[in-house]
Amino acid sequence: MKNLFVTLIFLSTILFSVDADHLLLTGISIRPSDAEMFIVTNPTSSSIDLTDYYISDATSTNKYYYNLPSGQNYWSGIPNDFIVRFPATSLAPGDSLTVSLSDSADFRNFYDYNADLVVSEDFLNASSDGSTTIGPIIGLADDKECLVLFYWDGISPTVMDVDYFIWGDDSYASAKTTADGYPYNDTPIDQQQFIRSYANSIVVDSLYRRIDINEDAEVITNGNGITGHDETSENLASNWEIVPLFELIPGCIDVNAINYNSEANLDDGSCIIDIPMINAGLYDGQIVTLIGVMVDYFDVTVYNGPHSLTLEDANGYRIEISIWPDDWDIPNSPEAYLITPPFEKYLIKATGVVDEYEGEKQIGVTGPDFFEVIDFIDPNGDFVADPSITKAKISPAPFVVIPTLGEVIEYSYEYPADSRVVIRIFDLAGRFVTTLRDDYLGSEGGTQGVVEKPIWDGRDHLGGIVAPGTYIIHLEASNFQTGKTTTDTAPIVVGVRF
């Protein structure tokens, strides 16, 4: 896809008419960083020696490119800026040069071909004393900037504009005047026609492409340009278009994330990081988002510490969430219910910075905006009314669980109206292991029904993982008005991993 758009760029430049009489900027890419480049085209019928040609985006801080002949106030010194001289080369009629603002390797990785020239590798400093005029992190701003192609023979007291391009607004526009020693006044800045930025659209339409090589509406007399034009007068909004450099596919681009999308090329902030990856130290000091069930809370504020919440993922891996009272006073907030036992009722999405305390990873969350309840988990399952039920029934599925792997076993059960429902686990010798539920159900309205997807995690009443073997899940439903009791049992196998 990237090569297709690049091909279209070149087609649009070489198929122009040859009426223009000087070099032109015909394409400018402003994002992403690895794709930043500009294209210079020779639309004339003769080769053009580029030795005395320069290009710059340094039009800020009251230091302008056109002051270069004076040797003063021409170089901004800003790390992102550059004012450079082309290397000794010629551009044939109808030919174009693609010039990269990233390094050659990054450019090739993005476009799958080599740039003709690279600013930081091939261009010369504009200064006469050899000092650098190439910032260490050169790049074009997404929202607004200026790019100027100009000519200076090294002797004349003035430069000559060759092509001039501004986007976003006129913040970085410039206008030479007779007071600066130039023969004519440029178009006043507030009258210059810039092309607007599309930095926030749904496609990465960061490629500005010339569609009118004749510079329609440009003033062609009494200008400071190389052929007498006023290059600052061109109506860029009508002579250029904005096209997508590549189609934007939002998604998670982190290969270590649970929801990594190999087709995505724009990180939309949706990445969910696995707790083991965080515990392994892969995200130290970084902002991550994770999902887990809140299984515990400890108030460390009494010891001048944070609120400490524990999240557990589907595989049983845990991590601490630390929230300082100054950031979020949970006990006195509408979210106070989160730290009220019993826990394991809420599925949480939390975003924060990975830190470490006493060798254990933790996530620092700075407020409720970064802590979201995405689901309520009823440990007793989901109820479905069914008035035809007359006796208790319990159905585990599957029948095998390996709790050491964090597995849980789901089961469903049904009970008649107005019953005390007790669900217990016993071993084959009849010894009590744990109680999963003991509640009066259906006391209001005489409801009865099926409860689906409650779970047992393979632990006893003390929280320890039971030994491998066969266990019995036992359901007892007793009508507290009639005294009628019905029961049902089913086997559950607790396994081990070999």
CATH number for the domain spanning 313: value is 2.40.50.140
Among the candidates 357, 376, 395, a domain finishes at: 376
More reliable by pLDDT, 225 or 481: 225
Single-letter amino acid code for the residue at 282: L
8, containing H or E segment? helix 2-14
367 and 397 share one domain: no
430 falls within a domain: yes
Choice between 68 and 402, residue whose per-residue pLDDT is larger:
68
Same domain, 397 and 370: no
C-alpha to C-alpha distance for 143 and 145, rounded to whole angstroms:
7
pLDDT of residue 13: 39
For residue 19, what pLDDT is reported?
A: 54
Query: Residue 14 to residues 10, 100, 389: CA-CA distances in angstroms?
Result: 6, 19, 80
Quote the number of domains for the chain.
3
pLDDT at residue 18, as a whole number:
42
Strand partners, 309: 297, 321
Does 294 lie in the same domain as 221?
A: no
Sign of the CA dihedral 273, 278, 280, 281? positive
Q: Are residues 138 and 235 in the same domain?
A: yes
219-254: b or e for each residue (b if 16 or more CB lie within 10 Å)?
beeebbbbebbbbbbbbbeebbebbbbbeeeebbbb
Query: pLDDT digit string (tens) for 164-208?
Result: 999 999 989 999 999 999 999 999 999 999 998 665 555 566 789
Q: Determine the pLDDT at residue 363.
A: 95
In the numeric block, the tokens 């006493």 are attached to 358
Residue 190 within a domain = yes
In a domain, 253, yes or no: no
pLDDT for residue 17 is more than 60: no
Instruction: Give yes or no for residue 493 having a pLDDT over 80.
Output: yes
Q: Are 337 and 469 contained in the same domain?
A: no
Peptide bond into 32 cis (omega under 30): yes
User: Token digits for 133?
Assistant: 């005029």
314 occurs within a structural domain: yes
**Minimum mean pLDDT range among 100-104, 133-137, 207-211:** 207-211
Residue 394 DSSP one-character state? E
The set of residues, in sequence order, having a beta carbon less than 8 Å from that of 315 and lying 6+ positions away, is 276, 405, 406
State the average pLDDT over residues 409-438.
89
Residues 171 and 223 occupy one common structural domain = yes
Identify whether residues 173 and 92 lie together within a single domain: yes
**Is position 224 within any domain?**
yes
| Domain shared by 270 and 238, yes or no | no
User: Over the range 88-110, which residues count as b (16 or more CB within 10 Å of their CB) and which as e?
Assistant: eeebeeebbbbbbbbeeebbeeb
Q: Domain boundary residue among 376, 403, 426?
A: 376
35: helix, coil or strand?
A: helix
Q: What share of the chain is helix, strand, coil (3-state, %, to 5)?
A: 15, 35, 50
407 in any annotated domain: yes
Would residue 406 be called left, alpha or beta, if left means φ above 0 and alpha means ψ between -120 and 50 degrees?
left
Q: Are residues 368 and 452 in the same domain?
A: no
Same domain, 57 and 78: yes
Within a domain: 259: no
Task: Tell me if 258 is assigned to some domain.
Answer: no
Q: What is the CATH number of the domain that holds 407?
A: 2.60.40.4070
- Band of the pLDDT at 111, cuts 50, 70, 90? confident
Q: What is the pTM of this model?
A: 0.53
Q: What is the extent of the structural domain holding 235?
A: 2-243
Which residue among 243, 274, 301 closes a domain?
243
Averaged confidence pLDDT in the chain: 86
Asked if 335 and 402 sit in the same domain, the reply is no
Within this chain, do residues 161 and 271 fall inside the same structural domain, yes or no?
no
